[in-house]
Structure 1
Amino acid sequence: MWQWENNMTEQLYRIRRHLHQFPELSFQEHRTCAYIIEQLKAWEIPYKQFGATGVIVDIYGESGKGLHLALRADIDALPIQEETALPFASRQPGIMHACGHDGHTTILLGAVYHLWKHRSQLSGMVRCIFQPGEEADGAAKQMIEQGVLRNPNIDTVVALHLWPYLPFGTVGIKSEAMTASCDDFVMTVHGKSGHGARPHQAVDAIAIAAEVVRALQFLATKRCDPVEPVVMHVGRIQAGTANNIVADQARLEGTIRTTTQHLREQVKQDFFTFVTHVVESFGGKVSIQYADGIPPVVNDEHVCNVLAQSIRKMIGTDAVYTLKSPSMGADDFGYFAQEVAGAYFRLGIRKEDTNTYDLHHPKFQFDEAILPVGAKILTQFAFDWLTEGVEIT
């Protein structure tokens, strides 16, 4: 079977450090795309540019027909000023790889190299997707609409994410819901302005907004099944012009997250009814913009089982954790998992002897020794899934 090339480890470190120094925001990853292509050309691996900044690599096995697998990595960065003091810290002011996408990209490149080199042992095909714009809603959806899962039709898709809440080198995975959906709202409460000394002559939009925030917590805890996780969060309020004027408008922005499509639809319907009733009961009116965003990532049980076997084979039987609950964060991999059987797993980066910062933190970083671990897992899974052709039951 295939073997890891030890000299590839240092190459992965070099690749990751370059990517980390030149992060790019969603749909602006032109330099990143060019650098990925540069690596593929150096290894003489054929590729296709997909859209403006995406790249795909199709590796056809030479042992006959079989299933069609996709491996996906996100490549974009975040609008965060880096505070790591790394020698290869971001050179782009206000932009940082604070979510580990530089690691994901590097890991997939390591898998691409080994899958291409040992393609004679594979049946079927593996499509490696370097996806732009994960941090922006709809990037995966756009790629799907443009045919990234067709020609040939993809049967299975897998992705990983570095995770600061698991011990270094371990993996967290579970079937069914892995992450939450992410729907956003903007509402404007309309009242009637007046003097703060005579509130009875006005309709206080700020007071009504406060009631809305309180009511949303009631909606989340008393109108939804308590065994199904749901988040209703107001993260921004804008209102008022002076301390002695009754505000005639209050703008609230927030997010709603669930892990099942059924609850997602129920919450959306209840949200409109509930908010409208609360606002009107206090004499105001409300306009609501509700954006259906990223769906939950729902893992396929059979794919998870095979993936767990591959991980144990590659890095040890004690390396796999069965996660008890989903994350209420979101990942647009959910769009892929909606279309075909998929598995999304967490690769632990927490080390006891160092500070491990959360995703999207300006001091987020990770030990580069995790890069070959992730690449080995993806490569081994592809071989296990495609070498003989795994029957999906």
Structure 2
Amino acid sequence: MTQPVKWSWNEALNDTLFGIRKHLHQHPELSFQEHETQKYIEKILDDWGIPYQTITDTGVYVDIEGAEDGKHIALRADIDALPITEKSNVDFPSQNEGVMHACGHDGHTTILLGAVYHLWQHRDQLKGSVRCIFQPGEEADGAAEQLIQAGVLTDPQIENIIALHVWPKLPLGTIGTIKGPVTASCDDFVLKVHGKGGHAARPYEGIDALAITHEIVQALKFLETRVLDPVKPHLIHVGKVEGGQSNNSIADEVVVEGSVRTVDHDMRKEIEAHFTRLVKETAERFGGNVDIEYINGHPPVINDDEITDQLERSASQIVGEDNIIDLGQPSMGADDFGYYSEQLPSTYFRLGISEDHETTYDLHHPQFKFNEQAIIYGAKIFTQYALDMLR
């Protein structure tokens, strides 16, 4: 039987990690603008005497080499913030007006730093290496894909990767896991529906782009509920419709924006094909035409069974088996970790942050906040997983 990895958590580091998180929370930066965040991460690593490398404009990664050859694995944390004005009432609020860590990435970054510190201290126990990736731009499209293209998974070739996300729907001290799909793809669309303007008193002389848009929206609902397999999770959402000049004129152009989500790669392709055909046919049937911009965004995050099993075994040593919760079904939210899960066996788990005595706000809410003790749970789990995988 394989012997458990012997390592100890440095309790004296806790206050340092809490201070790091507070600094990051006070100085949030938007996607691809994380220059000061990058410098701060580098400063912490310099203070600890841990070497690192930069990648793309604002990314950082740390390679921790073990004493012997073995597997090459990766841990990932996202570092960017959101264009949200903070209303959390914490005593260390954002100092960057209109920008907030409303998705917990300040916690994710601190968690990975805590794991880096301990893995560096215990690197003599590793057989192989662990790459710790501080990734910019998760809230924007394509950041993970850019890092992959820049070689973040090569030299050495990474064999598996994990990530976490704080989760207000689970209690503090628990994690949530699932095998298979865990988050959805997110593709965006912009439609420009063209008609022919005219006077509202003589609608037969014009082609009403607003009326055509109504028919397109109804057609998309038909696609969502009557064409696609209802057993496979999917959403087609129209979030913005803009057009028309006045109350007594016929609209000659309407712009429609929305998103499409699914947790299945094949259905993702199927939806796009049906979407394009149906939208064009509907516009033409009513005398108009439409320009379609269909933007492929994040792929779904799909967890590997074996990597998830190992993550659960490692996490059980930190939080206990009873505190590992089956998520049951995927979320229709998205995360660009899907680009990694397309390339490698991976798992993406939820880190509980809710407390009975506190009102817990959802991700991206201006009042979002979490107990800093979640940072310790997350960092310990990351560390335990890496040591177990490379023992």
TM bucket by the smaller chain? over 0.9
Give the match's secondary structure for 2:167.
Answer: strand
- State the one-letter code of the partner of 1:18: H
Indicate yes or no: 2:50 matched with 1:40: no
AA matched with 2:169 = Y
CA distance in 2: counterparts of 1:208 and 1:169, whole angstroms: 52
Which whole-Å CA distance do the structure 2 matches of 1:168 and 1:282 have between them? 55
Q: Does residue 1:292 correspond to 2:282, yes or no? A: no
Q: Distance in 2 between matches of 1:224 and 1:11?
A: 51
Q: 1:261 deviation in Å?
A: 0.8
Does 1:202 find its partner at 2:206?
yes
CA offsets 1:266-297 (integer angstroms, 9 cap, x no match): 00000011111111111111110111111000
Report the counterpart of residue 33 of structure 2 in structure 1.
28
Where in structure 2 are the equivalents of 1:1-393 lying within 5 Å? 1-62=6-67, 64-387=68-391
Following superposition, the deviation at residue 175 of structure 1 comes to: 1.1
- Three-state SS of the structure 2 residue aligned to 1:67 is strand
Task: Please say if residues 2 and 118 of structure 1, whose CA atoms lie closer than 8 Å, have aligned partners that are also in contact.
Answer: yes
CA distance in structure 1 between the aligned counterparts of 2:43 and 2:27, rounded to whole angstroms = 15
* Partner SS for 2:91: coil
Counterpart residue type for residue 28 of structure 1: Q
Q: Give secondary structure in 2 for the equivalent of 1:25.
A: coil
After superposition, the C-alpha distances for 1:347-370 in whole angstroms (9 at most, x for unaligned) are 111112111111111111101111
C-alpha distance in structure 2 between counterparts of 1:251 and 1:68, whole Å: 48
Partners of 1:212 and 1:358 lie apart in 2 by 32
Find the residue that maps to 1:215 and give its secondary structure: helix
Q: Hey, what's the Cα distance between the residues in 2 that align with 1:20 and 1:167? A: 22
CA offsets per residue over residues 137-165 of structure 1, 9 Å max, x none? Answer: 01000000010000000000000000111
Structure 1 residue 178, shift from structure 2 partner: 0.7
Aligned to 2:3: none
| Contact kept? 1:172, 1:347, Cα under 8 Å | yes
TM-score (norm 1): 0.97
CA–CA distance in structure 2, aligned partners of residues 123 and 338 of structure 1: 26
Q: Is the CA contact 1:164–1:350 (under 8 Å) kept in the aligned structure 2? A: yes
User: RMSD in angstroms over aligned alpha carbons?
Assistant: 0.7
Residue 321 of structure 1: CA displacement?
1.0
Residue 218 (structure 1) shift: 1.2
In structure 1, how many angstroms separate the alpha carbons of the residues matched to 2:302 and 2:281?
A: 34
Aligned residues: 386
Q: 2: distance between equivalents of 1:166 and 1:10? A: 24
Q: TM-score with structure 2 length normalisation?
A: 0.98
Q: Deviations over 1:297-336 (max 9, x none)?
A: 0111000001001111111111111121111111000001
Q: Give runs of ≥4 in structure 1 deviating > 2 Å.
A: none
Does the 8 A contact of 1:73 with 1:159 survive in 2?
Answer: yes
Judge conservation of contact 1:239–1:250 (CA < 8 Å) in 2.
yes
Q: Distance in 2 between matches of 1:182 and 1:326?
A: 14
Distance 1:21 1:47 in 2: 24
SS in 1 for 2:296: strand
Q: Distance in 2 between the 1:133 and 1:44 partners?
A: 27
Q: CA offsets per residue over residues 100-121 of structure 1, 9 Å max, x none?
A: 0000000000000000001011
DSSP-derived class of the 1:66 partner: strand
CA distance in 2, matches of 1:153, 1:166: 34
Give CA-to-partner distance per residue, 1:42-82, whole Å, 9 cap, x none. Answer: 111111111221110000111x1110010000000001111
Of 71-80 and 274-283, deviating more is 274-283
Tell me how far apart the structure 2 counterparts of residues 110 and 356 of structure 1 sit (CA, whole Å): 25
Tell me the SS of whatever aligns to 2:69: coil
Q: Is 1:311–1:319's contact at 8 Å kept on the other side of the alignment?
A: no
User: Could you tell me how far apart the structure 2 residues matched to 1:327 and 1:136 are?
Assistant: 19
8 A contact 1:72–1:159 mirrored in 2? yes
Following superposition, the deviation at residue 8 of structure 1 comes to 1.1
Name the SS of the counterpart of 1:251 in structure 2. Answer: strand
Distance 1:294 1:164 in 2: 22
**What secondary structure, in the 3-state scheme, does the structure 1 residue paired with 2:342 have?**
helix
% same residue: 54
* Structure 1 alignment gaps of length 5 or more: 388-393
Distance 1:324 1:198 in 2: 55
